Amino acid sequence: SRKREMLFPFLSFASASFATIDPGVTCNPEGRFFNNRLKAPNVWEVDVTSELILEASALFSGIQESVNQCGSMIATDGARFFSSSPSWNSDISWVSADDQQTLLVFEDLFVRMNIPELFGPLIDGDIRLYTAFYVEVSASNHIGRGAGLNGDFT
């Protein structure tokens, strides 16, 4: 049985008023953000209630089909998902919302996580959810430097 892990998209911004969002993030003179605890650029950590985590997890845990097939369409409880796998030797899969109804469920979670309010002071304009996906992989040690992953994971 594969261990399922959720990774939320990382957000990057160009502003200076950020210490209240995540005190572990600093900004260099070029305006780039760095998470000192995780030693990663453009990564923010925010508090999320366990209720929201459980709600997001329940959507994914209801998937019946294997997600390790590139392009497979998956439906569960009315939600539709699209699975994508890389060409390199890994069992990692990205599982995204595949219709407007499913994306709206994630957009509701996004709003209830207070992401627009938290990051609103840093952004000129509205903050919107662009996409929502789960990352499924058999072990988290697949993710990291030297694992053959693209730049989003290093």
Does a structural domain hold residue 27? no
> Which parts of the chain fold into alpha helices (H)?
50-61, 100-112, 115-119
Tell me which residue range forms the domain holding 100.
49-153
On whether residue 143 sits in a domain, the answer given is yes
Q: What is the pLDDT of residues 13-39, one digit of tens each?
A: 434 456 667 888 888 888 788 999 899
What phi, psi does 93 have (nearest 5°)?
Answer: -140, 145
> What burial class does residue 67 get, using C-beta atoms within 10 Å of its C-beta: 0-12 exposed, 13-18 middle, 19+ buried?
buried
Q: Is residue 127 part of a domain?
A: yes
Q: β-strand 79-84 against 93-97: which pairing, if any?
A: antiparallel
Number of domains comprising the chain: 1
Integer angstrom CA distances of residue 118 from 2, 143, 146: 34, 27, 33
The pLDDT tens digits of the residues spanning 73-125 come to 777 777 888 888 888 888 788 888 889 999 999 999 999 999 998 888 777 78
In a domain, 10, yes or no: no
